[in-house]
Structures are given as C-alpha cells and as structure tokens.
Structure 1
Amino acid sequence: MKKSLLALAALGAFAGVAHAQSSVTLYGIIDQGINLVTNVKTATGSAHLYNMSSGVMQGSRWGLRGAEDLGGGLKAVFVLENGFDLGTGAIGLGGLLFGRQAYVGLSSSQFGAVTLGRQYDSVVDYIGPLIAADQWSGYIGAKPGDVDNFNNAFRTNNAIKFTSVNYAGLQFGGMYSLGGQAGNFTENQTWSLGGSYNNGPLSLAAGYLNARTPSNAGGLMGNNTTTTTPGKIGAGTPVYSGFLSANTYQVIGVAGNYTFGAATFGLNYSNVSFRNLGANGATNFERGTNATFNNAEVNFKYQFTPALLGGLAFDYVDRGSVTKANGTSTGTAKYFQYQIGTDYFLSKRTDVYVIGIYQHATGTDSTGNAAVAAINNLTASSGPNQFTARVGIRHKF
C-alpha cells in the first residue's frame, strides 16, 4: 500500500510538471453601447440615427492563447481569436470563425517569435497603440476610412511574421504575406516592417505597409470577409473607394507619445498612396496615376485618477488632386476631425465610457463628388458635416 501511494504521488508530481510546461488561456472582450449619428445619408435625403452597436472601443471577441515550453527558452505558441456582434450574436468579420487572428509558431526568449497565419501588420503592431482610437476613442476615432490602417481595418491572410524580443525598450518586426497566385508571385502579396522604442515617458514608433492588388478578393482589403466581392471593406467609404483599382496600397507612418505626470501628448503622421490607378480594374482616372493622402493627428490624454481618464484629439486628412481620364483634375479633399472622450473604470476588468466625434469635409472625394463627412465605419453623411456620440460599457475576461 505504501509503495502504491508513493507511486501515485510521483505520478501526480509528474502531471503537475507536464501541466506547468503547457498552458491554454481563454480570454475575451465584450463591448456594447448606444449611439447617435447625425446626417446619415438615406434614399430620400438624410436623418439622425439612434442605434446599438458592438465593439467600438475594442472589438468584441473571445480567443484561445496557448504556449508549450519546449526547453532552452523555446516555446510553441498559438492564438485563435473570434470576433462577434454582441447585439445580434452574429460572427463578425464576414463570418470568419477566427477572423481577428489565427496563427501558430515558435517563440524564443533570446530572439523573438516567428508565426504563421492570419495576423496584424507592423503598422498596427507598433504605431497603433499610440493613436487616440486605440487608447480611448475607439474605431470611430480613427482617421476617415482608417485610411492608414493604424486602427487595424485590414488583417493579413497567409502571413509569415517575425517579432523581436524587447531590447532595452527597442522592439522591431516584419511580416510577409504570400499572394498564392500561380504564375504571378506579387499578386495579392502584402509586406510590412516596423519598430518601436519605449523609454520612461517617451514612446516612438514607425511602420511601413505595402499591399499589391489590395482590392482583390485575396488582397489586403478583400480578404477580411468570406465574400468574393473585391474591395468589400474599402468600398464602403467615399474617402478612397474610387481608388480601389490601384495596383498598390502603401502606408508610411511615424508616431510619438510623451508623458508628463498624469498628462500624455501624442503625435502621429502617415503618408498613404493608392499607386498606379487602373492597373487592377476600371478607373475614372488617368491610368498609372497615384492618389496620395497626407494625414496627421495630435492627441492628449489626462489621467485624472487611477480610475478616470479623459482625452482630446484632432485629425487632419489631406488628399492631393488626381488626374481624371479626360486630363482634368479632381481637385483636393480635406477632412477635419475633432474628438473628445472619457473612460471610467469600475474595476480592473469593467469600464464605462463616453465618446464624441465631429467631422467636417471639403473638396472632391474619390468618387468625383463633393466630399462628405465619413466617420470611420459609419454610414457617410449626406453633407460635409457629421457628429456621433456613444455611451458604452466594456468588460474583459
């Protein structure tokens, strides 16, 4: 009997060691709120919209994150992350089961991680955390149409990604997505590079993103749903829907934040271009021309108490003129966006928040019409002005 008890105890200890070497974590975010949106374009004109929506501050999700210790500082890692709409119970991202993220790979404590699957690009990884939308204003606070993808409007399929370890505040990485087209190595391919540096109150980041044939069903803007309709995401915003015939979508971005006590000041800039219009579909513009956006944001956050923060931000988007097929010019388009928000944490995992966004547009948009206000991920306005307000609650588990 004593030998049997000893054997059982040894087996239990063994099981404990095995369990400690491998782990799987269930996690998630539930975000729901009530919205007011003014000047929503309708079939007969415009009207105010009152509605409920999910995942504005952060996308509602549940996920599984796992790691297995392989020894010598090496681990096998994976993430499977689902997005959903809390109001209807529907799966988000076009019905993809793990549409937010899905990858597997190896992680080294000495060098970093190499992962394969559906993942975020380097612009999202390094610049994203420094913008107002990722901190306190949600996706409605991103630049119109999230034109620079800082707020992660687009995810990348079939991606090979490297993320370094943190070297005294410095971290960097890169991603390459295989287009998967026989006979055309560059079609639908996406690649990006980026890095960040964090040292005390100072945070800096830079990133580059290049996507070929972005509006294809397998391209960056078309691979975020299960539909085969090209440009499903980008087609919804007049800010750049007229430029989806481009052969290349390119983003160059930088950002920086500095904290003084309870206050944090931030700046970010991006240069976005839809290059070689008409090379990937019909276009109303002169073939081979580029449509270029220069975008900037200044943001401010103040931590009134450990539980209460407030924020202000201003975004400016400036698109240069584009030559039409008949040789004339479209003129420019400009978007001015003002943001305010506050977030109160009831606990470490639950908070309530209020966000207000006002946008004004001038000039001519990508469709050749008078530019209208187009707050990110909302139905565009019928005119140059639009305001939205949201009261929401978020819970993390």
Structure 2
Amino acid sequence: MRKQIVCGALVAIGCFSGAARAQGSVTLYGTIDSGFQYANVGGVKTTSAASSTVIPNRWGLTGQEPLGGGTFAVFRLENGFNVNNGTALQNGALFGREAWVGLKSSLGQLQVGVNNTAINITLLQDSLGYGWGTAANNFAFVPTLRSNNSIRYTSPQVENFTMTVTYALGANGSTTLPRTLGNTTSIGFRYATKNFAADADFMTQVYSPAKVVAPGSTTSTGNYSLFAVKYDFGFLVAGALFQMHRGGSASGSYSGYANVNNNFYEIAARVPVNLSGLTFSFGQYKNLANSAGNATSYGIRYDYALSKQTILYAGVAAMRNGSAASFSVNSTVAVSVPVSVPGSNVTAGIIGMTHLF
C-alpha cells in the first residue's frame, strides 16, 4: 500500500511547517519486479535473472498542496532501476521516468519537466498490461514514450472526454545538436465510461538520420498515429490497438525502425480471476517497404495474486521474425533477449514476483 507521509514527518528533508503546508501530503510508492527467464534465440539458449518484466521497477514521490480556490500545486518524481544490480535506468538519470511540477484545478492540469507522451499514456491504459509477452511492449518505439524538457496539459473530463497535449524541446538550446532535434508534439483524445475506453493519439518527433549528429546534421520528422479500444465484459477484458509510423528516421536508435513506414497492431484479452488473471496477446509489426522486416508476437501470462500488493507470475512468449527483422521478447523497460542475427526466432519463458508498495 502506498504510504501517505504528511509534511510534519518531512521536516528533516526540508518541508517547513505552516498553516497551508500542513494540509499538503507526499506519497512514497514503488514496484519491485524480479524473476528468471529462459530464452531460445535462433537455437542459442540462455537462462538469466530478469528485472522489470511484468511491471517496471521504480520508486517515486508524488504530492500536492492546496493553494486555495480549488487549485493545487502538484509534483511527481519517479526513478527506474534494475533490481538485479541496483543501477539506475533511463541512462542513469535519478528521476528519468517522470520528473515534473505543475498546477491542477477545475480547468485541468499543467505540468513541466519529464512527461509521458499521449502515446505512452494510452499504451499504459489500454494495452492490457503493457508488460512481458504483450505485442505492444515488444513493438513500442521507446523514444516516443516520454519527453524531457516538456510541458503537458490534461483537460478536465467533459461528457466522458479528456484531452492531453504535450510539447518538448529536444535539443533545448544545445549548441552541439541541430536546433530542432528531438522536438516532440503530441495530442491525445480519450473517451471513457465505466466499461469502455477509446483513444486516438497523434504525435510528431524530429530525428536525424546521421550516424554522428552535429549542429548541421540533416533532420526529418516522424509522424505517429495510435488508436486503441478496450471493453470490460466483467468475465473478460478485451482490447485492440493500431499504430502507424510515417516519415522521419530512427535508424540510429533501433534497427527494427530503420524503415520509417511501418505499422503494428495488437489484439489482447485478460480473464480476471479475483485479483489474479490470465493475459493473452497477439500482434504483428508490418514493414511497408520490405515484408522481410515483418514480425509476429505471441504471448500468454498468468498473474497470481498472493495479496493486493504481491503477485507471482509465469508466462510463455514467442517472436517470429522475417529474414530482415530482429524484434525480441522484451521486458517492460528494454530488450531483454537481444537478437543479434536478423531473422532469428525467439521463444521465452518467465517466472517471477512483483511487489507493490
């Protein structure tokens, strides 16, 4: 359970008491996910300790302070880490997953810092787990998920609709990079009722095809569209998503996206059993310029809840690559089983445990 820590308990780390401050609160939260994975990649078999498989390993602080008139100051700091060796993820950043401060009122929420994009918010909400064994997790392009130097606005819900807009300055005035490199704009529209949700997201992001990026390097713009639906039948939660990528170049980031005209989709279902559940996922990546770059993802995972905070899990997943594709079965934060030879198929199994606090 997340532990609520009132300001009076935080004097040692610089929280000053006062009439207004005393009403604020800070929440410490996190997840620890660890297990073991067996994989067969093109006939090469490995067994390894696994970190962040079903849920990303993280810890964070979030809080708010009432400012009067229904307005709150809000913030979040979130760190990602590797439980196997204790190192920080997101290139060693202390709070590389999220780090923002903002204001919230009846007009919506505005926040500045490291923010999730509209695409990442949808994948987190509507991909039925976005964890080990799901096609969305295996095919998602990491640079589209969060942005540094960004501002994000989330509207209030009106007639079940909400809107999220983000804008980020990628290079952020750097004199060693192209001026617009990494600039990201995203907008997301969401309709949600008790049992149904539908999302439509659109994003642009500036890349450079150059292997060594300099101030004068050529840039181009990647365009992304993501559509997702989810329905809770009670006995079954079913969902589907479809993403298109057009233009730009991400060849320096991941070889699977060297061709910039591609799609991927996922069809998934989760059968809840009290607090536990069985998740199925099927999806395909389509390289529109070269069908040899296509890939197909399969996954099934059972999560068994020992309590509301502690979960045991086991799963089996496979990736079938075309002769020019090198996708893999991923953890929630990175490629956990590298495919060094394009066209190699991947079969993997996982067992592990997650604890939430």
1:35 equivalent to 2:37? Answer yes
Deviation digits for residues 126-172 of structure 1, max 9, x if unmatched?
A: 343111342xxx145244753455xx874210001101122243211
3-state DSSP of counterpart to 1:106: strand
1:339-378 correspondence to structure 2 within 5 Å: 339-364=299-324, 371-376=325-330, 377=335, 378=337
1:307 equivalent to 2:280? Answer no
- Structure 2 distance, partners of 1:384, 1:317, is 15
Calculate the TM-score normalised by the size of structure 1.
Answer: 0.74
- Residue 235 of structure 1: aligned partner: none
Tell me which of 59, 73, 77 is aligned to 2:74: 77
- Residue 116 of structure 1: aligned partner: 112
CA contact (8 A) 1:188 1:216 kept: no
Structure 1 or 2, whichever has the larger Rg, is 1
Calculate the TM-score normalised by the size of structure 2.
Answer: 0.82
Deviation digits for residues 11-45 of structure 1, max 9, x if unmatched?
A: xxxx79545521111111111111011126xxxxx
CA contact (8 A) 1:143 1:317 kept: no
Tell me which of 330, 336, 339 is aligned to 1:380: 339
Q: Which runs of no fewer than 5 residues in structure 1 stay unpaired?
A: 1-14, 41-45, 218-228, 231-244, 284-288, 322-329, 365-370
CA contact (8 A) 1:127 1:253 kept: no
Give the count of matched residue pairs.
Answer: 325
- Residue 161 of structure 2: aligned partner: 170
- Structure 2 distance, partners of 1:257, 1:32, is 28
Q: 1:357 to 1:214 in 2, by over 3 A?
A: farther
- Residue 209 of structure 1: aligned partner: 203
- Residue 390 of structure 1: aligned partner: 350
3-state DSSP of counterpart to 1:89: coil
Tell me which of 189, 204, 210 is aligned to 1:195: 189
- Structure 2 distance, partners of 1:121, 1:173, is 9
- Structure 1 distance, partners of 2:158, 2:38, is 45
What amino acid sits opposite 1:380 in the alignment? V
CA contact (8 A) 2:220 2:247 kept: yes
CA contact (8 A) 1:61 1:82 kept: yes
- Tell me by how many angstroms 1:77 deviates: 0.8
Tell me which of 79, 82, 102 is aligned to 1:105: 102
What amino acid sits opposite 2:31 in the alignment? I
- Residue 295 of structure 1: aligned partner: 264
CA contact (8 A) 2:135 2:298 kept: no
CA contact (8 A) 1:115 1:160 kept: yes
- Structure 2 distance, partners of 1:335, 1:157, is 30
- Structure 2 distance, partners of 1:19, 1:94, is 34
- Tell me by how many angstroms 1:363 deviates: 4.3
3-state DSSP of counterpart to 2:124: helix
3-state DSSP of counterpart to 1:348: coil
1:74-153 correspondence to structure 2 within 5 Å: 74-108=71-105, 110-134=106-130, 138-143=131-136, 146-148=139-141
Q: Which runs of no fewer than 5 residues in structure 2 stay unpaired?
A: 1-16
- Structure 1 distance, partners of 2:22, 2:250, is 54
- Residue 6 of structure 2: aligned partner: none
Tell me which of 269, 294, 308 is aligned to 1:334: 294
- Residue 320 of structure 1: aligned partner: 288
